[in-house]
Amino acid sequence: MFRLILRKIKKRLDLPAQVGRKYQDINPEDIFLDSTNLPGFEEHRFEGRIERPMGRKIFLILKIVLVVVILSLVSRLWVLSIKQGSIYAQISEDNRLEQTLIFANRGLIYDRNMHELATNIIKKEDSDFAGRFYPPFEGLSHTVGYLKYPIADRTGVYYEKNYRGRDGVERAYDDLLRGRNGLKLRETDVFGVVTSESVIEKAIDGKSLILSIDARLTEVFYQTIKSLAQSNGFVGGTAVLMDVRTGELLALTSFPEYNQNILTAGTDQDAISTMVNSPSKPFLNRAIGGLYTPGSILKPIIALAALNEKLISPEKQILSTGSITVPNPYNPSKPSVFKDWKAHGWTDMRKALAVSSDTYFYSIGGGFDDQKGLGITVLDRYFQLFALTEKTGIELLGEVEGVIPTPLWKKEKFNNEIWRLGDTYITAIGQYGTQITPLNAARFVSTIANGGQVLKPSLIIGGSPEPVLNIIEFDDKDWKVVREGMRESVTYGTSVGLNVPYVEVAAKTGTAEVGSAKLYVNSWSVGFFPFQHPKYAWAVVMERGPSSNILGATSVVRQLLDWMSVNTPEYLE
C-alpha cells in the first residue's frame, strides 16, 4: 500500500524514477513516532522530541508586552515633541549658538610724568584676553603690585572671569582698573565651524590710573638702598618721599622686592618658590608693613612737647658729660647710669637736636637735677598727637599700627613689672618698645615742616580729597625752633653729609640698636626741603646692619639729592 502511494506521488510530481529508488529503503519507524519506538531515541540529544506550538496564554502575554512598549515609545515621543518640545528646541539652539566672553582690557597705570608702570600686551591669537606687563622700573613692585589672569576649566569655560589685582594699586584700585566684560554670540554648524558672530554686549575697558609717584626718584632710591645693603651688610631698606602740602607720595619703595611679571605669569614655579621662601622677605612692604625702633628721629617731637608744656626755654643749656647717673634707692652702691653717645658739653635745644644729645632729652623727657621732665603719660599723649601709632590710611593693603611703650604696655609684656624712671629715659630717645612705620615717620616730619597739619598720605595725583586729618596748634616760634635745630643738624651736626650747595635741607638722624647684644642697628634719616619753604619730607631706613657701619641712611638721601640736582632740579626749588 505504501509503495502504491509513493508511485502516485512520484508520478504527479514527474520525478525521475531514481528518486523513488533513493528513498525506497526508508523505514516507517523513522517517520512515525509512537510508544513502540520512543525508547530507542536518545532524548538528552533532543532525539524523538515533538515540537509543540505556543500556548494562547504566552501569545497573549507577548502581545500585551508589545503593546506596552509601543505605547511607551509613543508617549515619550509626545513628551519630547509636544509637551517639552520648546525646551529641547532651545537646548538645540543653544548648542548651535555659543556665548563667548569679550574680556575688557585692564586700565593702564602711569606715574606722575606719564611713564607706564603697568601696560597691556597685544592679545595673541590663541588667547582670549590681553596679558599684563610691568616695565622694568626698579623699586615699584610693592606700590604697583601684580595680578592674576582669568581662569578657565578644562573645557574652556571661564569660572574666574576677571583679572584679579593681588597687591599694590592693582588691588587697591581693582574696581577702577578692571572694566566690564562684554558678551558675544557665535553660531556654528554641525562641524563646529563658525558661521556668524554678533556682539550683544560691548566690553567696557578699565580706566587708567595716574599715580603721584615719580618712577625716576623711586628707582634711584631703590638702587641706592640696594647697593648699600649689599655692600655694608644691611638686611633691607625702605624710603618714602612725601609732599608736605598735599600728602602726595612721590616715592615709596622697599628693598628687596618681588618680580611682578613672574608672579603675574605664574608659570615659573621655581622662581616663585624662591621668592616665597626667601629669608629677606621680598613680599614685605617695609614702608607700611615694617615696624622699626625710631631712635633719635623722635627727638623733635619731644622738643616740641617740652616747649608747648613750658618746661624749658629753647635757650636753656644742659650739660652733657657723656652720661647721667641716677641714684638707686634700693642699693646706693649700684646707681643707674644712662649713657650719651658722646660728651657734647653745654647744649641748648637747637644744638641738642643738631648733635642728638641723649643727655638733653633724658632731662626733658624724664627729668634730671633741676630740670623737670615730661613723664611717660605726657610723652605718650604727644606721640599720639602726632599719630605715631595710627595707620595713615594710605590706599595700599598691609599697613600696620605703631607701638608706644606705656606703664600698661609694660605690665602686659613683662609680667606686671612696674614702670621705672629709666624706662621713661629710654623712651625719650625713641627706644625701648617704641616702633613706627617709615611712612608714619615721613608723615610726622611733614607735620613739623608744614607747621602742624597731620596729613593723609596718598598715591594719587591731587592727594586725598580731605588730606588734613588733624591740626596741631603750637606757637609758630616753637615750630621754628625745632626746624632750626634740624637745619643745624645738617650744617654741623649728625646730618652734615646732607650739607649740599644746591638746596638747604633740614634733617634728623636716628641709630636704633637691635638685639640684646647690640651688634646691629637700624639706621634712620628723616628731614625736609627746601628749608625756608618746605615742600617735601623724607624718611629712609636701612634695616639691621652691623653697628660698626659708618655709612647708613644719610648716604642714601645724599645720593638722591645729588641725582635730583642734575636730573630733576625743579623739586629742589
**349 contact partners, CB below 8 Å, separation of at least 6:** 303, 306, 307, 312, 314, 315, 316, 360, 481, 482, 485
Q: What is the pLDDT of residues 210-233, one digit of tens each?
A: 999 999 999 999 999 999 999 999
Nearest to 245, CA basis, from 62, 415, 32, 463: 463
What grid cell was written down for 203?
566690553
CA angle, 302 as apex, 300 and 303 as ends, to 5°? 65
β-partners of residue 337 are 325
Query: Contact 239/221 with Cβ under 8 angstroms?
Result: yes
Q: Is pLDDT above 80 for 6?
A: no
In order, the DSSP letters of 233-291 are T-SEEEEEEEETTT-BEEEEEEES---HHHHHH---HHHHHHHHT-TT-TT--HHHH--
Q: How many other CB atoms are found less than 10 A from the CB of residue 546?
A: 11
Nearest to 323, CA basis, from 366, 362, 379, 370: 362
Q: How many other CB atoms are found less than 10 A from the CB of residue 540?
A: 29
Nearest to 132, CA basis, from 265, 328, 29: 265
CA distance 453 to 208: 31
Q: What is the pLDDT of residues 454-510, one digit of tens each?
A: 999 999 998 888 899 999 999 999 999 999 999 999 999 999 999 999 999 999 999
> How high is the pLDDT of residue 503?
98
Who has greater pLDDT, 128 or 378? 378
Q: Which of helix, strand or coil describes residue 465?
A: coil
Who has greater pLDDT, 550 or 504? 504
**15 contact partners, CB below 8 Å, separation of at least 6:** none
Sign of CA dihedral 343, 364, 298, 518: positive
Query: Is the N-terminal amide bond of 256 cis, ω within 30° of 0?
Result: yes
β-partners of residue 199 are 184
Average of pLDDT values for 376-384?
97
- What domains are there in the chain, each with its CATH number? 98-210 (3.90.1310.10), 215-572 (3.40.710.10)
3-class SS shares of the chain: helix, strand, coil, % to 5: 40, 20, 40
**74 contact partners, CB below 8 Å, separation of at least 6:** none
Long-range contacts of 442-445 (CB under 8 A, 24+ apart): 442/240, 442/241, 442/242, 442/526, 442/537, 442/538, 442/539, 443/242, 443/387, 443/392, 444/301, 444/386, 444/387, 444/388, 445/297, 445/300, 445/508, 445/526, 445/527, 445/528, 445/537, 445/538, 445/539
Q: What is the pLDDT of residues 340-375, one digit of tens each?
A: 999 999 999 999 999 999 999 999 999 999 999 999
Who has greater pLDDT, 321 or 53? 321
pTM exceeding 0.75 = yes
Q: Which of helix, strand or coil describes residue 209?
A: strand
Side chain identity at residue 205, one-letter code: D
Average pLDDT over all residues of the chain = 89
Q: What is the pLDDT of residues 53-108, one digit of tens each?
A: 667 777 778 778 888 888 888 877 776 677 666 665 655 555 566 778 899 999 99
Q: How many other CB atoms are found less than 10 A from the CB of residue 436?
A: 28
Q: Percent of the chain at pLDDT above 70?
A: 86
User: First vs last Cα of the chain: how many Å apart?
Assistant: 147
Nearest to 95, CA basis, from 183, 187, 182, 159: 187
CA distance 453 to 467: 9
Question: Cell match 563667548: residue?
Answer: 100
What grid cell was written down for 364?
626733658
What grid cell was written down for 298?
623722635
> How high is the pLDDT of residue 70?
86
Who has greater pLDDT, 262 or 73? 262
> How high is the pLDDT of residue 549?
87
